[in-house]
């Protein structure tokens, strides 16, 4: 079963549905949305945010069809998203400590 099978063809999906298809956390996903790595969110109501299902499907295809649920570590899915969300190296401060 592919991960896109549980996503609707059109419409909106909430963050829990999106994160069920990506091996990353909520904060990492929001940071990616802010930086433009992940699709933009749409405010449907004051406390309701969603993403276009088409945008999430395109993201999953771009990442190589991530086939793991959040928190699991399967080969292709974890490797594909690791390229997009790899943390940056910390730079030493003035005293040389990292």
Q: Which domain holds residue 21?
A: 3-85
Is 24 contained in some domain? yes
Is 14 contained in some domain? yes
CA distances from 95 to 7, 60, 90, 91, 92 (A): 50, 42, 14, 11, 7
Is 37 contained in some domain? yes
Q: What is the pLDDT of residue 36?
A: 96
Q: Which residues contact 98 (CB under 8 A, 6 or more apart)?
A: 90, 91, 92
Stretches where the chain sits below pLDDT 50 are: 1-3, 68-83, 85-86
Is 93 contained in some domain? no
Is 94 contained in some domain? no
Domain tally for the chain?
Answer: 1
Is 97 contained in some domain? no
Q: What is the pLDDT of residue 75?
A: 38
């Amino acid at each position: 079963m592919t991960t896109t099978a549980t996503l609707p063809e059109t419409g909106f999906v909430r963050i829990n549905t999106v994160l069920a298809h990506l091996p990353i956390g909520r904060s990492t996903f929001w940071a990616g949305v802010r930086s433009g790595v992940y699709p933009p969110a749409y405010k449907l109501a004051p406390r309701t945010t969603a993403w276009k299902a088409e945008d999430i499907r395109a993201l999953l295809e771009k990442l190589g069809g991530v086939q793991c649920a959040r928190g699991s570590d399967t080969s292709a899915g974890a490797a594909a998203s690791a390229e997009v969300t790899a943390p940056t190296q910390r730079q030493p401060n003035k005293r040389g400590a990292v």
